[in-house]
Amino acid sequence: MGGRVERIKLGSQGLEVSAQGLGCMGMSAFYGPPKPDEDMISLIHHAIHTGVTLLDTSDIYGPFTNEILLGKALKGGVREKVELATKFGNSFADGKREIRGDPGYVRAACEASLKRLNIDCIDLYYQHRVDTRVPIEVTIGELKKLVEEGKVKYIGLSEASASTIRRAHAIHPITAVQLEWSLWSRDVEEEIIPTCRELGIGIVAYSPLGRGFFSSGSKVLENLTDDDFRKLRYVFYGDEGIELIGDESPGPRLRSSKGLKLPSMGSTIMGCPSRIGIACRFCWFLFSDGCFVMVVASGRLILGWGLRWWQFLPRFQPENLEHNKTIFERVNEMAARKGCTPSQLALAWVHHQGKDVCPIPGTTKIENFNQNIGALSVKLTPEEMVELESFVAEDVVKGDRYTKDVATWKDSETPPLSSWKAT
């Protein structure tokens, strides 16, 4: 079964990868509780044997545990068979989440990822989100040094605007840009995709199946656990990262916390016992929506961002899914005519965007992986491409892909290099 997947050139610097990659995030984070290491390692090895060799992870997945998982999977001579991509840029130091691209952080993040992955060099190292306080030239300048030192082979950006990509590429060649690109997420086509092609930059499409929507439509929420971020509405920011709480409102369980005062922001500090996080540890914490507070966790004081309402993915709100189910129904009908599944049809659409595009669908099951590989055999005519795209016109899809407080390429402009004062 090995070697079934075509190879493509990603970017213009010599990187060659499988035409389809494997997104590993859901194995350890965000899509419910972490899956057993042995099962995920078997899946990764199966993917490699099939010919899928581009493996995508990040230090934020877990955080950190997904990289450790990949490190285990790549032992015993497996490392030489893959192209390994990871990312940096999300810091949880001192009890708060920050997007960071300053040189010291870039270097420290790289060293930490190398250690967790148990490797000497990262094949493709992305800035996961752009730090809008640091000129992109400064961040890329440090990445360039890491390339020169042999710790990184190729540099990538994720969720970066066309102008940011252009500025970065002028400092050191950018090999790949990772973006959400699927049938129902096409806003990157106006400026970013043309810019990448002008500069010879490869395109890596994440969430090419709409985070599972094109597999099961409006039923996608039915079998999700409460801590799956497609479903949850409450999160807690602590010193160890984002703790996923679920959909149930904590309101009925609140009690006033006396003796504590909050800066005048129209909120009241409350205390609430709760079972939180993927680790489900029991603790007391204090919170006010979005305000910086002291948190008591595991018997010690830490700083955290408290509890806040946050629907990460507006398209997955029940009312929006109900509206968008017509899209899935139309894709499903066309897939039946083509003799494939709706997910294969949606993934085939991404593949047909060009040989410079590598989608990285994620999964935690071998049977779903095999189905995704089947998309490589689905052929679409120009007329069928037009028909598919007509199902998901901009005015048809209801709900943004992220909430406004999530950093995306639309918020990735950085200050001019002349403004930078090294510390």
* 19 and 109 share one domain: yes
* Dihedral sign, Cα of residue 334, residue 385, residue 207, residue 364: positive
Within 10 Å of residue 35's Cβ, how many Cβ atoms? Answer: 16
Closest by alpha carbon to 157, among 206, 92, 107?
Answer: 206
Where is the domain boundary, 309, 331, 361? 309
Residue 38 has pLDDT above 80, yes or no: yes
Residue 300 has pLDDT above 60, yes or no: no
* 174 and 126 share one domain: yes
Per-residue pLDDT band for 394 (boundaries 50, 70, 90) equals: confident
* 22 and 78 share one domain: yes
As for how many domains the chain has, the answer is: 2
* 58 and 205 share one domain: yes
> For 304-341, b where at least 16 C-beta lie within 10 A, e where not — what string?
bbbbbebbbbebbbeebbebbbebbebbbebbeebebb
| Residue percentage of the chain with pLDDT more than 90 | 64
| 396 within domain boundaries | no
Residue 277 has pLDDT above 60, yes or no: no
Where is the domain boundary, 253, 287, 309? 309
| 288 within domain boundaries | yes
| 332 within domain boundaries | no
Residue 181 has pLDDT above 50, yes or no: yes
Asked if residues 273 and 281 have their Cβ atoms less than 8 Å apart, the reply is no
What radius of gyration, in Å, describes the C-alpha atoms of the chain? Answer: 22
| 229 within domain boundaries | no
* 115 and 161 share one domain: yes
| 36 within domain boundaries | yes
Mean pLDDT of 251-269: 32
* 66 and 158 share one domain: yes
| 2 within domain boundaries | no
* 179 and 292 share one domain: no
265-279, 341-355, 368-382: range with lowest mean pLDDT: 265-279
Residue 3 has pLDDT above 70, yes or no: no
Answer yes or no: 61 catalytic: yes
Catalytic residue among 61, 105, 154, 234: 61
| 408 within domain boundaries | no
* 73 and 154 share one domain: yes
* 274 and 129 share one domain: no
The CATH number covering residue 104 comes to 3.20.20.100
Report pLDDT for 226. 65
Kindly state the tokens that stand for 377: 């055999």
- For 261, the domain range is 234-309
* 344 and 201 share one domain: yes
Asked if residues 137 and 168 have their Cβ atoms less than 8 Å apart, the reply is yes
Per-residue pLDDT band for 317 (boundaries 50, 70, 90) equals: confident
* 246 and 201 share one domain: no
* 290 and 360 share one domain: no
